Amino acid sequence: QVQLVQSGAEVKKPGASVKVSCKASGYTFTGYYMHWVRQAPGQGLEWMGWINPNSGGTNYAQKFQGRVTMTRDTSISTAYMELSRLRSDDTAVYYCARNDITALGYYGMDVWGQGTTVTVSS
Amino acid sequence: EIVLTQSPGTLSLSPGERATLSCRASQSVSSSYLAWYQQKPGQAPRLLIYGASSRATGIPDRFSGSGSGTDFTLTISRLEPEDFAVYYCQQYGSSPRAFGQGTKVEIK
């Protein structure tokens, strides 16, 4: 079945970096954008950006420009999101979600990972 | 940058009642690239509606979406116990693909 499985919870100190992985299965990895969305405790959803696994092209929300890097390894159908210079307000659950490429994303983010909790604390 | 404003913040209703959720955009949403997601505590969001009015796979027909331009609505015709959750709209026609702040549908 189609699924996205994310890496486990992380605890980091302020100023450090974190790299979260998202392994896809059950579908053609290069046929779907991979988006990253985060949710701080008790807050709403915040879109961070996407990567095109086929080309490696990326589109980041301006808020995260310079701190976020999205990459992929097509040989193992895995996308990665690395966030650097972590602050306490980066504490959140980070989700990956796929979105079709062929229809220019029209069908929305239809499959989501289970989420990865990142805690930033000294 | 498009900003989405959802209303009301909280909707208190009983099972069997009709729920009407609003999502208003600060600018016109390109080609009705507007989606609705449902999120329950401790779970990832689930896609309900894409393209403003098309139900995602497996979504019951009590969920319907409508609207265009800057005004969109999610309607749940008869609330089931499992429908009490937080609902988010998202525009994905331009970057950044912003979400609204959410509407919580709670049991009255």
Cβ pair B37, B74 in contact under 8 A = no
> Are the Cβ atoms of B102 and A45 closer than 8 angstroms?
yes
In this predicted model, what pLDDT tens digit does every residue of B93-103 receive, in sequence order? 888 999 999 99
| A103: confidence class by pLDDT, cuts 50, 70, 90 | confident
> Are the Cβ atoms of B95 and A106 closer than 8 angstroms?
no
Instruction: State residue B26's pLDDT score.
Output: 97
Strands B103-107 vs B10-13: parallel, antiparallel or unpaired: parallel
Nearest CA in chain B to A62: B96
Residue among B23, B50, B32 at smallest CA distance from A99: B50
Instruction: State residue A101's pLDDT score.
Output: 85
* Strand intervals (E) in A14-108: 18-25, 32-39, 45-51, 58-60, 68-73, 78-83, 92-100
Instruction: State residue B95's pLDDT score.
Output: 87
State percent of chain B over pLDDT 90: 94
In this predicted model, what pLDDT tens digit does every residue of B3-55 receive, in sequence order? 999 999 999 999 999 999 999 999 999 878 999 999 999 999 999 999 999 99
The two three-digit tokens of residue B54, written as one number: 């098309």
Cβ pair B6, B21 in contact under 8 A = yes
As to burial, measured by CB atoms within 10 angstroms (0-12 exposed, 13-18 middle, 19+ buried), residue B45 is: buried
In this predicted model, what pLDDT tens digit does every residue of A51-90 receive, in sequence order? 999 999 999 999 999 999 999 999 999 999 999 999 999 9
- How does DSSP classify residue B99? B
A73: contact with B, CB 8 A cutoff: no
The two three-digit tokens of residue B15, written as one number: 């099972």
> Are the Cβ atoms of B97 and A47 closer than 8 angstroms?
yes
Instruction: State residue A73's pLDDT score.
Output: 98
State percent of chain A over pLDDT 90: 94
Instruction: State residue A14's pLDDT score.
Output: 98
Nearest CA in chain B to A115: B44
Q: Percent helix, strand and coil across chain A, each rounded to 5?
A: 10, 50, 40
Instruction: State residue A106's pLDDT score.
Output: 86
> Are the Cβ atoms of A47 and B96 closer than 8 angstroms?
yes
Q: Which of A96, A112, A116 to mutate to test the interface with B (most CBs of B within 10 A)?
A: A112
Q: What is the mean pLDDT of residues A83-110?
A: 94
Cβ pair A24, A6 in contact under 8 A = no
Q: What is the mean pLDDT of residues B56-84?
A: 97
